[in-house]
Structure formats: C-alpha cells, structure tokens
Amino acid sequence: MLEIAAELERALDAGHRVGVVTVAAVHGSAPRTVGSAMAVTSTGDVIGAISGGCVESEAHELARAALDGRAAPSSTLGLSDGDALAAGLACGGHLTVVVSVLSPADAGVREQLRAASCGEAAALDVALDDGAVTPAATASHPWLDAGILHLARPPAPRLIIVGAVDFSSALATAARPLGYRITVVDARPAFATTARHPDAHEVIRAWPGEYLAGTEVRPRDAICILTHEERFDIPALVSALATEAAYVGAMGSRRTDGRRRELLRQAGVQEAALSRLRSPIGLDLGAVTPAETAVSIVAEIVAGKSRAPRLSETSGPIHARA
C-alpha cells in the first residue's frame, strides 16, 4: 500500500473513497512481495497491481466490492500450480490478501501516506479480520503477525547525480520509478536547471565535492558522477568515496578511468575505497544514447554486487526471496 502512497493520497485529496487490496502473504511463485497493493477509487480509477497480471481481475472485483460493502476482509487469490496450469495461468501460486477501504476522513492514515510519498519513513497496520488501517510505529520491512499486516517503508534511498548533462536527465527519468529521491548537482547555472531535469526532485547549484562533503549520504544511497571533467570529478569522487553509499559510479572511457584513479590516489584515496568505484559506469549493454546509458547504470545499481546473469541462461527460482 505504501508503494502507491502518492496516488492514494491524490485520490483521497480529491474526496474519493478507495478500495485497497494488499498482499499479506505469498505462497508459491508470484512476482510481487508482501505489501504490494492494488486500489480502485470510487470513480473507477485503478492504481497499482498485486501480481504480474494473473489475479488483477480478481483483485479489481474485490476492491470494487469493498467500496460497496460486499467484500470479505481477507481472501485468497490464485490457484495451486496444477490448477493454474489447467486454467492456462502462467505462474501458479496464490496470494493471501486483505481488503480495506480508505476515506478522506482517515487523517492518521493520510499522514503516513504523505510521508511515504515524500520519501520519508512511514508505517501502517492492517487488520486481517476487518481490513481496518491504522498508523503504526515505523519499521524497516513489512511482516504479518497475530492477524496484523504491518506495512513499513524506510526512508527512500537517494540518488545523487553529479553533472547537469543530457545523461543526468535521462538517468533521473530512469531511476525515479525505482523509488529514489533524486538530486542533480552542478556548479554551472546554465546547466543546473529544473527545466533540463524535470524528473529530479531537486537541482542544486553548487560545487559537487563541497556538496557531497556536506550532505547526508546513507548506506542505501547511490552517487553517479557524470560530469566527465576532472575539476568536478576528482573532488566529487574524493567526497563520494568517503561516504557509506551503496554505489559510487563515474562515467568515462577506460583511459579516463585510469588517469582518474591515479589522481584519486594522489589525492589520498586508499585502495580499499577505490575498489568501490564503478568506473567505467554501468553494465555492458551496448548503450550509446543517454537513455540507453541510463538503463545500463540503473541496471548496475539494481544488480549490486551480483554478476547479474541472463535469466534465460540460468535455472532456479526467478523471484528468489530471503
């Protein structure tokens, strides 16, 4: 539910009631996790999804029935693997879902939705016996306990993009749907504009190295250096590699990368810190255009430390979960 917080809040702001179907448990193969939600407004608009398409119609009907007062609070959607294959469904498995109705008068719930939509920590409790939704203490992940589905969303990770260029605008567009709060920072006023970066949450005019040294960077954050100019790159990377950011990448050729690493060593950056630098940036997807390059960068960020093999060349669960 918190992953569609912005859309829910807009519907409630407009005075609409909303029927929400939220995943409380996943059994077998399913592409979405606990906490995923689909909502239907009183005007019939659909928000979000709870699967790859197999049970969306069922969820839609449950949400509509909830608005009419006809839905049971909790339900099971989907079929066993055998029944699913017989019915022509692709994934099998089934979902336990809880059905709720939100109204514009739910002030406490709306406060948590606003927090989530702004990238702040937020939490809600959903009772399986009646679908009631209430504000809750913040936590790091959703879980089900004693008939209560605890929904939690930590603060959104940041993506700090150094360099207000075409590649940075494309990267902001590619990364925003992943839930990042995006900052573009550049010292050049002609380039650092919101008009050039409509998908960034903020555009900062400052020297990147100074900005990175003075802003909070958390372990889930990512920093991408796209300026390709040593006067910006080196101070920015010195600051970036001193943070706990999960990802630090820099654009440039292999020749540029070699020279840049030597300059960083001269600036006092140790080998352990240099080993964290992803440069040249991105996965080798054959990218050329800014949009293609942005895909290669976000793919590397999502892949993390894994080698990210092709699914078509591997076996085992596709939706592996801890």
* Residue in the structure block whose two tokens are 């300059």: 263
Q: Across the strands, what pairs with 181?
A: 158
pLDDT at 96: 86
Per-residue pLDDT of the chain (322 residues; tens, 9 = 90+): 999 999 999 999 999 999 999 999 887 666 678 899 999 999 999 999 887 666 888 889 999 999 999 877 777 776 455 544 443 345 556 788 999 999 999 999 999 999 999 999 999 999 999 999 999 987 667 888 888 999 999 999 999 999 999 999 999 999 999 999 999 999 999 999 999 999 999 999 999 999 999 999 999 999 999 998 899 999 999 999 999 999 999 999 999 999 999 999 999 999 999 999 999 999 999 999 999 999 999 999 999 877 777 777 777 766 655 4
Cβ density class 191-215: b for 16+ within 10 Å, e for less: bbeeebbeebbebbeebbbebbbeb
pTM: 0.83
How far is the C-alpha of 306 from the C-alpha of 242, rounded, in Å?
Answer: 23
The full set of domain ranges for the chain reads 2-153, 158-303
pLDDT at 11: 97
pLDDT at 279: 94
Give 305's DSSP letter.
T
Give 254's DSSP letter.
H
CA distances (Å), origin 108, targets 17, 95, 101, 115, 249: 15, 28, 14, 11, 40
How far is the C-alpha of 59 from the C-alpha of 53, rounded, in Å?
Answer: 10
pLDDT at 305: 78
Q: Across the strands, what pairs with 203?
A: 184
Maximal CA-CA distance, the chain: 70
Q: Residue 126: in which H helix or E strand, if any?
A: strand 122-127
Residue 309 CA, distance from chain mean position = 21
Cβ-based neighbour number of residue 219 at 10 Å? 9
How far is the C-alpha of 116 from the C-alpha of 40, rounded, in Å?
Answer: 19
What CATH number does the domain located at 158-303 have?
3.40.50.720
Q: Where are the alpha helices (DSSP H) in the chain?
A: 5-13, 56-67, 81-87, 107-117, 166-175, 208-214, 230-240, 254-266, 271-274, 290-303
What single string gives the DSSP state of each residue in 49-109?
Answer: -SSSSTTHHHHHHHHHHHHTT---SEEEEE--HHHHHHHT-SS--EEEEEEEEE-TT-HHH
Q: Across the strands, what pairs with 23?
A: 97
**Number of alpha carbons in the 13 Å side-chain half-sphere of residue 225:** 31
CB-based contact 23:144 (threshold 8 Å): no
How far is the C-alpha of 90 from the C-alpha of 106, rounded, in Å?
Answer: 38
